[in-house]
Amino acid sequence: MSLFSPNSLSLGKSVSLSQKEFNDLSGFIYSLAGIEIPRQRQYLLENRLRSRLNELSLKSFSEYYQYLLHGPDRKREVEIFCEKMTTNETSFFRDPRQLDVFRDSVLVPLLSRLKETGRKQLHIWSAGCSSGEEPYTLSIMIHELLKVSIIGWRIRITANDISSAMIQKARKGLYNEHSLRNTPKDIIARYFSKEPGGYLVHPKIKKNIVFERINLNDAGAVKRIPKSQVAFCRNVIIYFDLPMKKKVVNFFYDNLVQGGHLVLGHSESLHSVSSIFQPIRKPGGILYRRMD
Ligand SMILES: C[S@@+](CC[C@H](N)C(=O)[O-])C[C@H]1O[C@@H](n2cnc3c(N)ncnc32)[C@H](O)[C@@H]1O
């Protein structure tokens, strides 16, 4: 029997990671996605991978590591591993106070400037979009501001995530009530239809968004993203170590147009990461402006 052929072993909760196994697996996710798993959070690796070991009937984490490196469907397994190692928590209108600040101090002035100059083109990049709630929220906010005049605009939101499962879910656009817990009822009524499986995003909200699986650690893929006036990267760099944070922040700098804005999660900051963005501090949160 080959090392990787299924057998009937079930590993239960007994298997734990050795130091070497931890180093191998945490090193693998780090070199792949820039995600840092500190030793004190070893339980994350154990808990999230144990079921996968059982599914594959592998006896130890070192067998799983070998499976990742040399298994029969290595590419797919790397994707599954990546999905297990990421935290995908998100919701519509997450951190509403920060979104209000973004709308009032960035989006509204930007839309009126573009309108005045007759260049009605807006591109927003939502990096680490998880299952799509963030880019859909941005699309709804833009519709709420432009209303019927949106017809004369070219709006595009590029939304990406490293997890193929999340991108698939995002493309579907079907959500449960928990995802919509921060969403005002009138917004739900205007932009969703109630379906047997949940709430389906209206096609007019979807049509501005291009979902794509992209790893922020992949410079080539990131460089192909069109220039943006705004980049959202909320609750993503929190999982990266300092060199990866710096790398990603430089990608945003290169992608944004002059004076473009970067929006991080409300608990994230560029303090001691980078000084190429100017912080704009408002009562509801901090936004960053590309310094030219
Ligand atoms: C906590 S979610 C944040 C979702 C959304 N931005 C929000 O604030 O609600 C973090 C997302 O970042 C993605 N992510 C982590 N590392 C990534 C990488 N290297 N490239 C692209 N996406 C990544 C994860 O897959 C996950 O879906």
pTM of the model: 0.94
pLDDT at 292: 86
Average pLDDT over residues 36-49: 94
Asked if residue 9 has pLDDT above 80, the reply is: no
Asked whether residue 249 carries a pLDDT value surpassing 80, the answer given is yes
Shared domain check, 181 and 40: no
180, two tokens: 């919509």
To the nearest whole percent, how much of the chain has pLDDT over 90? 94
| Ligand 1 centroid, distance to 59 Cα (angstroms) | 30
Domain with 69, as residue range(s), is: 19-85
Strands (E), the chain: 121-127, 154-161, 174-175, 192-195, 198-201, 209-213, 228-233, 256-264, 277-282, 285-290
3-state DSSP call for residue 268?
A: coil
159 within domain boundaries: yes
State whether 215 and 157 are in the same domain. yes
- Residues 81, 105 share a domain: no
Q: Which residue has a Cα nearest atom 7 of ligand 1?
A: 90
Q: How far apart are CA 93 and CA 101, in angstroms?
A: 13
Last residue of a domain, one of 44, 60, 85: 85
Q: Are 116 and 70 part of one and the same domain?
A: no
User: Would you state the pLDDT for residue 7?
Assistant: 41
The pLDDT tens digits for 108-151 are 999 999 999 999 999 999 999 999 999 999 999 999 999 999 99
CA of 143 to the centre of ligand 1 (A): 25
- Of 57, 85, 113, the one marking the end of a domain is 85
Q: Answer yes or no: is pLDDT of 190 > 80.
A: yes
Let me know whether 71 and 105 are in one domain: no
Task: Output the CA 127–ligand 1 centroid distance in Å.
Answer: 7
The CA-CA-CA angle for residues 193, 194, 198, to 5°, reads 115
Kindly give the number of the ligand 1 atom that is closest to the alpha carbon of 126.
Answer: 6
25, 112: one domain: no
DSSP character string of 14-67: T----HHHHHHHHHHHHHHH-B---GGGHHHHHHHHHHHHHHHT-SSHHHHHHH
Bridge-based pairing of strands 121-127 and 154-161 is parallel
What's the pLDDT score for residue 13?
Answer: 57
Same domain, 121 and 43: no
The CATH number linked to 43 is 1.10.155
Kindly state whether residues 42 and 61 are assigned to the same domain. Answer: yes
Query: If you average pLDDT over residues 207-230, what whole number do you get?
Result: 98
Mean pLDDT of 163-187: 97
| Residues 64 and 109 occupy one common structural domain | no
What is the per-residue pLDDT across 66-96, written as a single tens digit (0 to 9) for each?
999 999 999 999 999 999 999 999 999 999 9
31 closest CA partner among 262, 247, 198? 247
Ligand 1 atom closest to the CA of 34, numbered from 1: 19
User: Do residues 236 and 186 both lie within one domain?
Assistant: yes
Ligand 1 pocket mutation pick from 31, 236, 246, 247 by most atoms within 8 angstroms of CB = 236
Any domain includes 90: no
pLDDT at position 16 is 83
Q: Is the CB of 33 under 6 A from ligand 1?
A: yes
* CA gap 244, 250 in Å, rounded: 10
Length of the chain: 292
Are 237 and 124 within one domain?
Answer: yes
Q: What is the CATH number of the domain that holds 136?
A: 3.40.50.150
Residue 290, C-beta contacts closer than 8 angstroms, at least 6 positions apart: 252, 253, 256, 257, 258, 259, 260, 261, 262, 276, 277, 278
Q: How many domains does the chain have?
A: 2
Evaluate whether 265 touches 171 at the Cβ level (below 8 Å): no
User: Going edge to edge, which strands form the sheet with 192-195?
Assistant: 174-175, 198-201, 192-195
- Among 49, 65, 85, the domain-final residue is 85
Cβ–ligand 1 distance for 88 under 6 Å, the answer yes
Residue 8 has pLDDT above 50, yes or no: no
Q: Across the chain, what does the average pLDDT equal?
A: 94
Helix (H, G, I), strand (E, B) or coil at 131: coil
- Mean pLDDT over 229-249 rounds to 98
Say yes or no: 260 and 121 in one domain. yes
Q: Has residue 27 been placed in a domain?
A: yes
Please work out whether the CB of residue 166 comes within 6 Å of at least one atom of ligand 1: yes
Q: What is the pLDDT of residue 5?
A: 45
